[in-house]
Chains A and B, each alone.
Chain A
Amino acid sequence: MSLVTPIAFVSGLSALAAAFTMIAAVGIGIGQGFAAGKAVESVARQPEAQSAILSTMLVGQAITETTGIFAFIISIVLLFVNPFIGNL
Protein backbone atom coordinates (compact mmCIF):
# COMPACT_ATOMS: atom_id res chain seq x y z
CA MET A 1 0.00 0.00 0.00
CA SER A 2 1.34 3.44 -0.89
CA LEU A 3 0.11 6.49 0.93
CA VAL A 4 2.56 9.01 -0.56
CA THR A 5 2.37 9.71 -4.26
CA PRO A 6 5.68 10.47 -6.03
CA ILE A 7 4.63 14.07 -6.79
CA ALA A 8 3.78 14.73 -3.14
CA PHE A 9 7.10 13.16 -2.08
CA VAL A 10 9.10 15.31 -4.51
CA SER A 11 7.34 18.55 -3.61
CA GLY A 12 7.68 17.85 0.10
CA LEU A 13 11.40 17.26 -0.23
CA SER A 14 11.65 20.41 -2.40
CA ALA A 15 10.08 22.43 0.40
CA LEU A 16 12.52 20.89 2.86
CA ALA A 17 15.42 21.74 0.55
CA ALA A 18 14.17 25.32 0.26
CA ALA A 19 14.17 25.57 4.04
CA PHE A 20 17.70 24.17 4.27
CA THR A 21 18.90 26.57 1.57
CA MET A 22 17.97 29.57 3.67
CA ILE A 23 20.48 28.52 6.34
CA ALA A 24 22.79 30.80 4.31
CA ALA A 25 21.00 33.70 6.01
CA VAL A 26 22.97 32.94 9.19
CA GLY A 27 26.21 33.95 7.53
CA ILE A 28 24.73 37.15 6.17
CA GLY A 29 23.37 38.10 9.58
CA ILE A 30 26.79 37.66 11.15
CA GLY A 31 28.55 39.54 8.34
CA GLN A 32 26.16 42.49 8.23
CA GLY A 33 26.14 42.80 12.00
CA PHE A 34 29.92 42.80 12.03
CA ALA A 35 30.02 45.54 9.37
CA ALA A 36 27.44 47.62 11.26
CA GLY A 37 29.36 47.24 14.50
CA LYS A 38 32.60 48.37 12.89
CA ALA A 39 30.76 51.33 11.32
CA VAL A 40 29.41 52.33 14.75
CA GLU A 41 32.94 52.15 16.12
CA SER A 42 34.31 54.39 13.38
CA VAL A 43 31.45 56.89 13.75
CA ALA A 44 32.15 57.05 17.48
CA ARG A 45 35.79 57.72 16.71
CA GLN A 46 35.14 60.22 13.89
CA PRO A 47 31.61 61.67 14.08
CA GLU A 48 32.21 64.16 11.26
CA ALA A 49 32.68 61.38 8.68
CA GLN A 50 29.28 59.84 9.42
CA SER A 51 27.70 60.18 5.96
CA ALA A 52 30.70 58.71 4.14
CA ILE A 53 30.87 55.81 6.62
CA LEU A 54 27.14 55.21 6.29
CA SER A 55 27.16 54.98 2.49
CA THR A 56 30.28 52.79 2.48
CA MET A 57 28.69 50.50 5.06
CA LEU A 58 25.49 50.20 3.03
CA VAL A 59 27.35 49.30 -0.17
CA GLY A 60 29.48 46.76 1.68
CA GLN A 61 26.44 45.20 3.30
CA ALA A 62 24.74 45.00 -0.09
CA ILE A 63 27.68 43.06 -1.48
CA THR A 64 27.65 40.82 1.61
CA GLU A 65 24.00 40.13 0.92
CA THR A 66 24.67 38.62 -2.53
CA THR A 67 25.20 35.04 -1.34
CA GLY A 68 21.99 35.16 0.65
CA ILE A 69 20.09 36.53 -2.32
CA PHE A 70 21.35 33.63 -4.43
CA ALA A 71 20.18 31.20 -1.74
CA PHE A 72 16.84 32.98 -1.63
CA ILE A 73 16.40 32.70 -5.39
CA ILE A 74 17.26 29.00 -5.27
CA SER A 75 14.65 28.44 -2.59
CA ILE A 76 12.06 30.46 -4.55
CA VAL A 77 12.72 28.29 -7.60
CA LEU A 78 12.42 25.13 -5.49
CA LEU A 79 9.12 26.28 -3.99
CA PHE A 80 7.29 27.84 -6.91
CA VAL A 81 8.80 26.42 -10.11
CA ASN A 82 9.19 22.80 -8.88
CA PRO A 83 12.03 21.79 -11.23
CA PHE A 84 12.27 18.17 -10.01
CA ILE A 85 8.69 17.18 -10.76
CA GLY A 86 9.61 17.11 -14.45
CA ASN A 87 12.13 14.32 -13.74
CA LEU A 88 9.49 11.86 -12.59
Chain B
Amino acid sequence: MHDLSNIGPRNILRIGSVYVTETVFFGIIVACVIIALCLWMAHDLKKIPKGRQVVAEFIVKTIYSLVTNTMGKHCENFAPYIGSLFMFLILGNMLGLFGFRPTTADVNMTFALAGTTFFLVQFNGFRSRGFIGKIRHMAQPLPFMFPLKVIEEISFPISLSFRLFGNIFGGVIIMALVFNGLEWVSEAVFGSIPVIGGIPWLQAVIPLPVNLFFDIFEPILQAFIFTMLTMVFVSMEVARHAADGEE
Protein backbone atom coordinates (compact mmCIF):
# COMPACT_ATOMS: atom_id res chain seq x y z
CA MET B 1 0.00 0.00 0.00
CA HIS B 2 1.22 3.45 -0.90
CA ASP B 3 0.45 6.81 0.61
CA LEU B 4 -1.21 9.23 -1.76
CA SER B 5 0.75 12.29 -0.70
CA ASN B 6 3.93 10.98 -2.34
CA ILE B 7 3.13 8.75 -5.28
CA GLY B 8 6.54 8.66 -6.92
CA PRO B 9 9.10 5.94 -6.20
CA ARG B 10 10.94 6.58 -2.93
CA ASN B 11 14.70 6.75 -2.53
CA ILE B 12 15.58 3.93 -0.18
CA LEU B 13 19.37 3.82 -0.36
CA ARG B 14 22.02 6.44 -0.74
CA ILE B 15 25.58 5.79 -1.89
CA GLY B 16 27.53 9.04 -1.95
CA SER B 17 25.52 11.38 -4.17
CA VAL B 18 23.75 8.52 -5.99
CA TYR B 19 20.27 7.52 -4.89
CA VAL B 20 18.87 4.05 -5.36
CA THR B 21 15.11 4.16 -5.82
CA GLU B 22 12.59 1.41 -5.08
CA THR B 23 12.36 0.68 -8.80
CA VAL B 24 16.03 -0.14 -9.21
CA PHE B 25 16.15 -2.10 -5.96
CA PHE B 26 13.15 -4.30 -6.74
CA GLY B 27 14.22 -4.63 -10.36
CA ILE B 28 17.52 -6.14 -9.24
CA ILE B 29 15.69 -8.39 -6.77
CA VAL B 30 13.29 -9.61 -9.49
CA ALA B 31 16.22 -10.32 -11.81
CA CYS B 32 17.98 -12.27 -9.05
CA VAL B 33 14.80 -14.27 -8.36
CA ILE B 34 14.46 -15.14 -12.04
CA ILE B 35 18.13 -16.21 -12.25
CA ALA B 36 17.77 -18.34 -9.10
CA LEU B 37 14.60 -19.98 -10.44
CA CYS B 38 16.31 -20.73 -13.75
CA LEU B 39 19.34 -22.27 -12.01
CA TRP B 40 17.13 -24.30 -9.68
CA MET B 41 14.87 -25.55 -12.46
CA ALA B 42 17.56 -26.31 -15.00
CA HIS B 43 20.22 -28.08 -12.95
CA ASP B 44 20.44 -31.87 -13.04
CA LEU B 45 18.40 -32.41 -16.22
CA LYS B 46 17.17 -35.94 -16.94
CA LYS B 47 16.25 -37.73 -20.13
CA ILE B 48 12.75 -38.38 -18.79
CA PRO B 49 11.47 -35.12 -17.21
CA LYS B 50 10.07 -35.21 -13.72
CA GLY B 51 8.86 -32.60 -11.24
CA ARG B 52 10.33 -29.14 -11.78
CA GLN B 53 11.86 -30.08 -15.12
CA VAL B 54 8.35 -30.58 -16.53
CA VAL B 55 7.45 -27.02 -15.54
CA ALA B 56 10.65 -25.64 -17.03
CA GLU B 57 10.14 -27.52 -20.30
CA PHE B 58 6.51 -26.34 -20.44
CA ILE B 59 7.52 -22.68 -20.04
CA VAL B 60 10.30 -22.90 -22.62
CA LYS B 61 8.14 -24.79 -25.10
CA THR B 62 5.26 -22.32 -24.71
CA ILE B 63 7.49 -19.32 -25.33
CA TYR B 64 9.17 -20.92 -28.34
CA SER B 65 5.80 -21.81 -29.88
CA LEU B 66 4.49 -18.29 -29.20
CA VAL B 67 7.52 -16.76 -30.90
CA THR B 68 7.39 -19.09 -33.91
CA ASN B 69 3.65 -18.58 -34.31
CA THR B 70 3.88 -14.78 -34.16
CA MET B 71 7.21 -14.06 -35.85
CA GLY B 72 7.72 -17.04 -38.11
CA LYS B 73 10.16 -19.92 -38.08
CA HIS B 74 13.19 -17.83 -39.10
CA CYS B 75 12.93 -15.62 -35.99
CA GLU B 76 13.28 -18.43 -33.47
CA ASN B 77 16.54 -17.03 -32.08
CA PHE B 78 14.61 -14.11 -30.54
CA ALA B 79 12.83 -16.48 -28.15
CA PRO B 80 15.31 -16.21 -25.22
CA TYR B 81 15.05 -12.41 -25.16
CA ILE B 82 11.25 -12.47 -25.49
CA GLY B 83 10.95 -15.09 -22.76
CA SER B 84 13.12 -13.25 -20.27
CA LEU B 85 11.33 -9.97 -21.06
CA PHE B 86 7.98 -11.67 -20.44
CA MET B 87 9.09 -13.20 -17.13
CA PHE B 88 10.66 -9.93 -15.94
CA LEU B 89 7.52 -7.96 -16.81
CA ILE B 90 5.14 -10.42 -15.14
CA LEU B 91 7.14 -10.56 -11.90
CA GLY B 92 7.83 -6.82 -11.94
CA ASN B 93 4.15 -5.97 -12.43
CA MET B 94 3.00 -8.43 -9.79
CA LEU B 95 5.08 -6.93 -6.98
CA GLY B 96 1.95 -5.11 -5.80
CA LEU B 97 0.69 -8.50 -4.66
CA PHE B 98 3.41 -8.58 -2.00
CA GLY B 99 2.79 -5.01 -0.88
CA PHE B 100 5.71 -3.45 -2.75
CA ARG B 101 5.64 -0.90 -5.51
CA PRO B 102 5.59 -2.52 -8.97
CA THR B 103 8.83 -1.83 -10.83
CA THR B 104 6.96 -0.84 -13.97
CA ALA B 105 5.03 1.91 -12.14
CA ASP B 106 8.02 4.12 -12.91
CA VAL B 107 8.40 5.69 -16.32
CA ASN B 108 12.19 5.25 -16.25
CA MET B 109 11.88 1.46 -16.16
CA THR B 110 9.28 1.23 -18.91
CA PHE B 111 11.16 3.70 -21.07
CA ALA B 112 14.36 1.65 -20.69
CA LEU B 113 12.52 -1.50 -21.77
CA ALA B 114 10.85 0.28 -24.69
CA GLY B 115 14.23 1.72 -25.67
CA THR B 116 15.65 -1.79 -25.80
CA THR B 117 12.81 -2.80 -28.08
CA PHE B 118 13.38 0.30 -30.23
CA PHE B 119 17.05 -0.50 -30.71
CA LEU B 120 16.22 -4.13 -31.44
CA VAL B 121 13.77 -3.03 -34.14
CA GLN B 122 16.15 -0.50 -35.71
CA PHE B 123 19.18 -2.80 -35.52
CA ASN B 124 17.31 -5.62 -37.23
CA GLY B 125 15.96 -3.23 -39.84
CA PHE B 126 19.43 -1.97 -40.70
CA ARG B 127 20.96 -5.45 -40.54
CA SER B 128 18.47 -7.20 -42.76
CA ARG B 129 18.09 -4.38 -45.29
CA GLY B 130 21.36 -2.47 -45.23
CA PHE B 131 21.71 1.26 -44.54
CA ILE B 132 20.74 2.49 -48.00
CA GLY B 133 18.00 -0.09 -48.30
CA LYS B 134 16.45 0.92 -45.00
CA ILE B 135 16.50 4.62 -45.92
CA ARG B 136 15.02 3.82 -49.31
CA HIS B 137 12.40 1.61 -47.72
CA MET B 138 11.31 4.40 -45.40
CA ALA B 139 10.73 6.67 -48.42
CA GLN B 140 8.97 3.80 -50.13
CA PRO B 141 5.71 4.88 -51.79
CA LEU B 142 6.60 8.56 -52.21
CA PRO B 143 9.65 10.52 -50.99
CA PHE B 144 7.62 12.88 -48.78
CA MET B 145 6.62 9.90 -46.62
CA PHE B 146 10.14 9.84 -45.12
CA PRO B 147 9.59 12.41 -42.29
CA LEU B 148 6.28 10.78 -41.40
CA LYS B 149 8.01 7.40 -41.13
CA VAL B 150 10.70 8.90 -38.90
CA ILE B 151 8.04 10.37 -36.60
CA GLU B 152 6.22 7.03 -36.54
CA GLU B 153 9.34 5.09 -35.58
CA ILE B 154 10.28 7.58 -32.85
CA SER B 155 6.78 7.70 -31.36
CA PHE B 156 6.63 3.90 -31.13
CA PRO B 157 8.83 3.50 -27.99
CA ILE B 158 7.13 6.50 -26.36
CA SER B 159 3.65 5.07 -26.76
CA LEU B 160 4.87 1.58 -25.78
CA SER B 161 6.46 2.81 -22.55
CA PHE B 162 3.58 5.11 -21.59
CA ARG B 163 1.04 2.34 -22.21
CA LEU B 164 2.68 -0.03 -19.72
CA PHE B 165 3.43 2.76 -17.24
CA GLY B 166 -0.08 4.20 -17.37
CA ASN B 167 -1.81 0.88 -16.87
CA ILE B 168 0.30 -0.25 -13.93
CA PHE B 169 0.45 3.18 -12.31
CA GLY B 170 -3.31 3.58 -12.61
CA GLY B 171 -3.65 0.25 -10.82
CA VAL B 172 -1.33 1.44 -8.05
CA ILE B 173 -3.36 4.63 -7.55
CA ILE B 174 -6.68 2.79 -7.50
CA MET B 175 -5.33 0.25 -4.99
CA ALA B 176 -4.11 3.07 -2.75
CA LEU B 177 -7.50 4.81 -3.01
CA VAL B 178 -9.35 1.59 -2.12
CA PHE B 179 -7.14 0.90 0.88
CA ASN B 180 -7.34 4.48 2.15
CA GLY B 181 -11.11 4.52 1.76
CA LEU B 182 -11.54 1.22 3.59
CA GLU B 183 -9.30 2.46 6.40
CA TRP B 184 -11.48 5.56 6.73
CA VAL B 185 -14.72 3.53 6.73
CA SER B 186 -13.48 1.04 9.31
CA GLU B 187 -12.27 3.93 11.48
CA ALA B 188 -15.78 5.39 11.30
CA VAL B 189 -17.48 2.05 12.05
CA PHE B 190 -15.21 0.39 14.62
CA GLY B 191 -13.38 3.44 15.92
CA SER B 192 -15.38 3.74 19.13
CA ILE B 193 -14.66 0.17 20.29
CA PRO B 194 -11.87 0.42 22.90
CA VAL B 195 -9.26 -2.30 22.20
CA ILE B 196 -9.76 -3.47 18.62
CA GLY B 197 -10.90 -0.11 17.28
CA GLY B 198 -7.50 0.97 15.96
CA ILE B 199 -7.18 -1.92 13.52
CA PRO B 200 -8.57 -1.32 9.98
CA TRP B 201 -10.65 -4.51 9.86
CA LEU B 202 -12.35 -3.80 6.56
CA GLN B 203 -9.00 -3.96 4.70
CA ALA B 204 -8.91 -7.73 5.28
CA VAL B 205 -11.05 -9.42 2.62
CA ILE B 206 -12.95 -6.71 0.76
CA PRO B 207 -10.06 -5.55 -1.54
CA LEU B 208 -9.47 -9.08 -2.86
CA PRO B 209 -11.39 -8.68 -6.16
CA VAL B 210 -9.59 -5.39 -6.83
CA ASN B 211 -6.30 -7.10 -6.02
CA LEU B 212 -7.18 -9.95 -8.35
CA PHE B 213 -7.78 -7.56 -11.21
CA PHE B 214 -4.94 -5.07 -10.72
CA ASP B 215 -2.24 -7.39 -9.38
CA ILE B 216 -2.83 -10.64 -11.26
CA PHE B 217 -4.94 -10.11 -14.38
CA GLU B 218 -3.64 -6.72 -15.50
CA PRO B 219 0.10 -7.59 -15.07
CA ILE B 220 -0.19 -10.72 -17.18
CA LEU B 221 -2.21 -8.88 -19.82
CA GLN B 222 0.17 -5.93 -19.98
CA ALA B 223 3.27 -8.15 -20.07
CA PHE B 224 1.68 -10.14 -22.89
CA ILE B 225 0.81 -6.98 -24.81
CA PHE B 226 4.30 -5.50 -24.39
CA THR B 227 6.05 -8.68 -25.59
CA MET B 228 3.46 -9.15 -28.36
CA LEU B 229 4.04 -5.64 -29.74
CA THR B 230 7.81 -6.15 -29.50
CA MET B 231 7.53 -9.39 -31.45
CA VAL B 232 5.22 -7.88 -34.08
CA PHE B 233 7.43 -4.87 -34.74
CA VAL B 234 10.69 -6.87 -34.83
CA SER B 235 9.20 -9.48 -37.12
CA MET B 236 7.85 -6.76 -39.42
CA GLU B 237 11.41 -5.49 -39.89
CA VAL B 238 12.65 -8.99 -40.68
CA ALA B 239 9.67 -10.30 -42.64
CA ARG B 240 9.22 -7.26 -44.85
CA HIS B 241 12.76 -7.81 -46.03
CA ALA B 242 11.94 -11.39 -47.02
CA ALA B 243 8.94 -10.08 -48.95
CA ASP B 244 11.10 -7.43 -50.64
CA GLY B 245 13.67 -10.00 -51.64
CA GLU B 246 11.14 -12.02 -53.60
CA GLU B 247 10.31 -9.13 -55.90
On A, residues with C-beta under 8 Å from B are 55, 58-59, 62-63, 65-66, 69-70, 72-73, 76, 80
Q: Verify B225–A62 contact, CB threshold 8 A.
A: yes
Q: Mark B209-247, 1 if CB is under 8 A from A, else 0.
A: 000000000000100110011001000000000000000
A65 / chain B contacts, CB cutoff of 8 Å = 163, 167
SS class, residues of chain B in contact with chain A = helix
Inter-chain CA distance A72–B232, complex, in Å, is: 26
Instruction: State whether B7 touches A62 (Cβ < 8 A).
Output: no
Partner of B224, one of A58, A69, A76: A58
3 closest cross-chain pairs (CB), A and B: A69-B166, A62-B225, A66-B159
Q: Which of A63, A69, A76 contacts B167 (CB 8 A)?
A: A69
Cβ contacts A to B, 30 pairs, < 8 Å: A55-B224, A55-B228, A58-B221, A58-B224, A58-B225, A58-B228, A59-B225, A59-B228, A59-B229, A62-B163, A62-B225, A62-B229, A63-B229, A65-B163, A65-B167, A66-B159, A66-B163, A69-B162, A69-B163, A69-B166, A69-B167, A70-B162, A70-B166, A72-B166, A73-B162, A73-B165, A73-B166, A76-B169, A76-B173, A80-B7
Interface of A is mostly: helix
How many contacts A-B (CB < 8 Å)?
33
Interface size on B, residues (CB 8 A): 16
For A62, the chain B residues whose CB sits under 8 A away are 163, 225, 229
Q: Write out the residue numbers on chain A whose beta carbons fall within 8 Å of the beta carbon of B228.
A: 55, 58-59
Most buried by B among A55, A62, A70: A62
| B residues near A69, Cβ cutoff 8 Å | 162-163, 166-167
Q: Cβ of B159: which chain A residues have Cβ within 8 Å of it? A: 66
